[in-house]
Structure formats: C-alpha cells, structure tokens
Homo-oligomer: A and B are copies of this chain.
Amino acid sequence: MTITVQLDTPVLLRNEEAAREIRALCQENGIFLVNIMSSPGAGKTTLLEATLRLIRDRLPVAVIEGDLVTTRDADRIAALGVPAVQLNTNGACHLDARMVLQALGKLDLAALNMVIVENVGNLVCPAEFDLGENFRVVVLSTTEGNDKVSKYPLIFRTSGLLVLNKIDLLPYTNFSVPDLVEDATLVNPNLKILQVSARRGDGIEAWAEYLVTLVTGK
C-alpha cells in the first residue's frame, strides 16, 4: 500500500526573488553559472579538481562550495589556484539562491567568465531550488545503482547534462549503462550523458571541452 504526503512550497517562492537577482548579476558581469548536483560521494569535488586543471588557464573560473560543515572542498579547489568560496549551510540539505547571492558577493565577478556551484550532496532538495544558474549538471556514479533516475526524477528532469562517474568501477557492479540511458531518456529526452572516471581520467577532456563550449559558445 502507498501513502502520498503533500509538500509545502512557500520557501520555493521566496527563493525566486534571489534567483532573479543572481541572473541579473551574472548577465551584467558576463558570467555563466553552473550548478552541479549529486548524491554524497558521487565524486563532484574530484571531478571538479580534474576539470579545473584543464580549464583554469583557458577561462577565468571560480567555485562556490556548498557543505553542511567543513571547508574541505573549498580547500581542495583553492589548492589548484582557483578562487573558492565555502558556503556552510549549518545543517541545511541544499543551497538556496540567497546563499549563492551572498557567496557571489565575495568574488571578483568582473574578472570571471564562469562560476561553478557545487551543491550539497543530495539528490532531492537541491533540485527544487533555482539558483539562477544557466546550466544544471547532475553527477551519478555507477556504484549507486540503476534505480536512481526513477526514484529521484526531478533532478534528472531539470538538468541539461548527466555525468556518469566512476566508470572504472563498472566491471565490479551490476550497473547497466544501457538501462540508465533508457530510464534517463524517459524522464528527460534532452538529457545529454557523458561517461567519465574522475579518478582515472577517462572522459575528462570531453567533459571539460563541453563546459568550455557552453560558456564561450565555441
């Protein structure tokens, strides 16, 4: 038997005003804003590290790191010489637009072309919060199983790109890439899928090129 619970939405409406401010601010400063989301441990920060090594000299980029506590992720990004702001949500399970607006205020926006937001590790709430981003990326890892698209459809429906990470672990799991493609296409026919191993390096150049093209249009 199934029980369905209704969800309150006023907080989402309050979020929209800040998202509009972000969009205006980014347009004014020529900034392309990317929102990267995933489960905890899907490998977002490792992916970003590998990506920034390839693009940091081609494109002025900064990163906003969302976490409940710790500055571990921002420290990892700053170690690459890329400007990084750590947002600590102090327990909240997602970033909202007001937090991101605050973080953007700490960056030298005029000097940047791209800001990447690494959201809190969570497949649910981040998907509901418009951060005023130009593009959403969802990262899924092969070790998380094939049912994630059906069980957490909103995040896949609202993203433009799915990065399938940890393909180096494919041989040791029962994950099926064809099944993923089938499920993803049902939920979002426009979702592009790139396969990578952030740890081993597979597919990282293609994904970095994809990002650069998004921002520069060439």
Q: Which of B88, B102, B141, B169 contacts A172 (CB 8 A)?
A: B169
Min CB gap A175→B, angstroms: 10
CB–CB B7/A91 < 8 A: yes
Chain B residues with CB under 8 A of A182: none
For chain A residues 22-65, which have a beta carbon within 8 Å of chain B? 39-41, 43
In the complex, whether A87 has a CB less than 8 A from a CB of chain B is yes
In the complex, whether A214 has a CB less than 8 A from a CB of chain B is no
Chain B residues with CB under 8 A of A120: 124
What CA separation (Å) do A40 and B69 show in the bound complex? Answer: 20
Closest 5 pairs (CB-CB, A-B): A41-B144, A93-B124, A143-B143, A39-B40, A2-B86
CB–CB A5/B122 < 8 A: no
- Given A40-B144, A92-B7, verify A69-B151 contact (CB < 8 Å): yes
Q: Which stretch (A70-78, A109-117, A188-196, A201-209) binds chain B?
A: A70-78
Chain A residues within 8 Å of chain B by Cβ, number = 56
In the complex, whether A215 has a CB less than 8 A from a CB of chain B is no
Instruction: List the B residue with the shortest CB-CB distance to A76.
Output: B147
Instruction: List the B residue with the shortest CB-CB distance to A9.
Output: B91
Chain B residues with CB under 8 A of A7: 89-92
Chain B residues with CB under 8 A of A41: 39, 141, 143-145, 148
Instruction: List the B residue with the shortest CB-CB distance to A173.
Output: B169
Q: Which of B88, B124, B151 contacts A4 (CB 8 A)?
A: B88
